[in-house]
Amino acid sequence: MKPRSSDAISEETARYYAARAPEYDRSAGYLTPDAHPFRVGKKKRYQQLFKGHDVLEIASGTGYWTEALAETATSVVGVDVNPEMISRARSRCEHLPHVKFRLADAYSLDPKVGTFTAAFAVWWWSHVPRTRVQQFLQSLHRRLIPGALVLFSDQLEYDIPRVDGMATQRHEDSNGDTIERRVLSDGQEYDIVKNFPTEQELAAALSGFGTDVQYREWPGEKHWELTYKSVQKTQA
């Protein structure tokens, strides 16, 4: 099989989430009462961190975290590449006048999206192909003021197959990306990017983009978090 380009694997990842949109909240555990206690502390941390900020949320999905941030943020703009996700997010947050959603590609954010004092993304970094990390960060930082607060949060590596049966296989491609086979409830299968970067890899990627880089793992919550303050990287 001919290796796929990073753009092609990004496109399949986007198609996967468009198809998953109707079942996303359920499959992500957002509708599971027993899982709620695991997210209480996480929500409180994020609400405190982004209090008073104008926040850009990357890959806002169905708006679950957008709604949480909106309790303390001055404003939140969620961007997602999938209309299917945007529609659900708007319905969830329609009672919040300081929250907006825009259909946008995170790798080429239009100036019309706005300028922000903070940026936030949950479960996004792992879906960025290694060859597109710099492209994404450049796109993001064009929308941030100098000194903006940035937080990325993503999953620690988990075993295959997943308990929920969604992730069934995993391999590394020729670009060094981890490719995971995902199966939806209707049997549709997709091969998506699902990388598990180390603290050192994250720090290297952010060289020139941020200061005060802080990384922490939360094993009980099964994820890692990274925060930093943005700087304007000099373009070559």
Q: What is the pLDDT along the chain (236 residues), one digit of tens a residue?
A: 556 788 899 999 999 999 999 999 998 888 888 777 778 889 999 999 999 999 999 999 999 999 999 999 999 999 999 999 999 999 999 999 999 999 999 999 999 999 999 999 999 999 999 999 999 999 999 999 999 999 999 999 998 887 566 888 999 999 999 999 999 999 999 999 999 999 999 999 999 999 999 999 999 888 999 999 999 654 43
DSSP H helices, the chain, are 6-20, 24-27, 36-49, 64-69, 83-92, 133-141, 199-205
Q: Give the distance between the most distant pair of CA atoms in the chain.
A: 50
The 10 Å CB-count burial string (b at 16+, else e) for 218-228 is eeeeebbbbbb
pLDDT digits (tens, 9 = 90+) for 125-140: 999 999 999 999 999 9
- The single residue listed with the structure tokens 């909106």 is 70
pTM of the model: 0.94
CB 196 within 8 A of CB 188: no
Q: Which CATH superfamily is domain 6-156+198-230 in?
A: Vaccinia Virus protein VP39 (3.40.50.150)
| Lookup result for tokens 């993304």 | 121
Measured between alpha carbons, how far is 86 from 32 in angstroms, rounded to an integer? 22
